[in-house]
A and B are shown apart, each in its own frame.
Chain A
Amino acid sequence: MNLDSYLGVHAAALQLRGRRTELLATNMANADTPGFKARDIDFRSALDAVTGQAPSANAPLSTNARHLGAVRTGNPAGSIGSTESFLKYRVPLAPSLDGNTVDAQLEQAAFADNSVRYQATLSFLSSRFKSLMTAITGQ
């Protein structure tokens, strides 16, 4: 049995959630920096790329290699390489005069959402380890 495949998508998801925590922290630290553009990751396509899964059924159909968001190449090693291509800029709801696009409330909400999902991933991983321990000790 391969431990990586046993942990499934959760190991990669945990890494990606960690990256997203950094990004959201960046947005909040720069909430008052003139000209700063808030960024976030397209979580679904980043995770699809890491796990090498095909795009989901409701993803837009790409008929040309130059279509945006159409290139999804799987990473067989299951490790997170450059996730730069999944970085997106936020569209500001109320643009400010100094060019800053950080909405503190929106970032707070996203951060709370991300931390809850991080904890969910942790508990999925934890339960996998628990089942493994049960199998090993036989108790």
Chain B
Amino acid sequence: MSSFKVFDIAGSGMSAQSVRLNTVASNLANADSVSGDPATTYKARHPVFEAVRANVAGKFGDANAAVKISSIMQSNATPNQRYEPGNPLANSDGFVFAPAVNSIEEMVDMISASRAYQNNVEVMNTSKELLMATLRLGQ
């Protein structure tokens, strides 16, 4: 039955959102990872989503679309320069470079990702109930 495609679609949404949650965790965890060289400082990562129509095409033609992560983009914001001559990682001028991670933006991204994940879980649960009810039809 074609309705099983709902599980593929909602499942792809869940996996994409969990990758997004992982990048948020990675960005927040490394918000204070300083380094002495701006080139090697951690850069915030953000996934780019893309609709995939290949595997889930139904009788609607290409109307069904799952979602996948097409790439993980690294932010090119310049690292924040701080004067910390006591830091063992400081360069010869006494500066360290902290990643340009905006923790407020990351938290907002986290909430958005978790809500979207919950949305997909609800879609899956409801579809499962409807399919089970369909299987019980006539009993």
Contacts and interface: CB of A to CB of B under 8 A. Distances in A.
A87 B58 CA distance: 13
A33 B49 contact: yes
Q: Is the interface of B mostly helix, strand, loop or mixed?
A: helix
A22 B119 contact: no
B67 A30 contact: yes
B120 interface: yes
Interface residues of B, number: 42
Contacts, number: 114
A82 interface: yes
B110 interface: no
Interface string B127-138: 101100110011
B72 to A, nearest CB: 14
B48 interface: yes
Nearest to A107: B119
Given A21-B3, A30-B13, 5 more contacts: A19-B58, A26-B65, A29-B10, A118-B130, A122-B134
11 contacts: A19-B2, A19-B58, A26-B56, A26-B65, A29-B16, A31-B116, A33-B50, A81-B59, A83-B59, A83-B60, A125-B137
